[in-house]
Amino acid sequence: MERLKEIVHFYTTHLYLVDYMLILFVFFLFTCVLLLCIFLRHKPVAALLIIALNIIICFLIYTYGYKFID
């Protein structure tokens, strides 16, 4: 429990509003693409490929976005 308290304290004191906006943007993008994959439920290979690309692209957006912000 103490470790969780330290983590929350770190993120609330060291991250700015733009960092939280980037996190929310990546989460929103990830969620929207996953919702679009619902329409591909009859083509599971295509849906799996899109989900895999979604994970990679969201990771890259977050990584390079965070480097761009700093």
**59 found inside a domain:** yes
Rounded distance between C-alpha atoms, residue 16 and residue 12, angstroms: 8
Q: What is the DSSP letter of 41?
A: T
Q: Residue 15 above 90 pLDDT?
A: no
**10 found inside a domain:** no
Rounded distance between C-alpha atoms, residue 26 and residue 39, angstroms: 21
pLDDT band at 69 (very low <50, low <70, confident <90, very high): confident
SS3 42: coil
Q: What's the predicted TM-score (pTM) here?
A: 0.75
Q: In the prediction, which pLDDT does 54 show?
A: 96
Q: Indicate the number of domains in the chain.
A: 1
Length of the chain: 70
Q: For residue 22, what are the domain limits?
A: 17-69
Rounded distance between C-alpha atoms, residue 38 and residue 42, angstroms: 9
Q: In the prediction, which pLDDT does 29 show?
A: 96
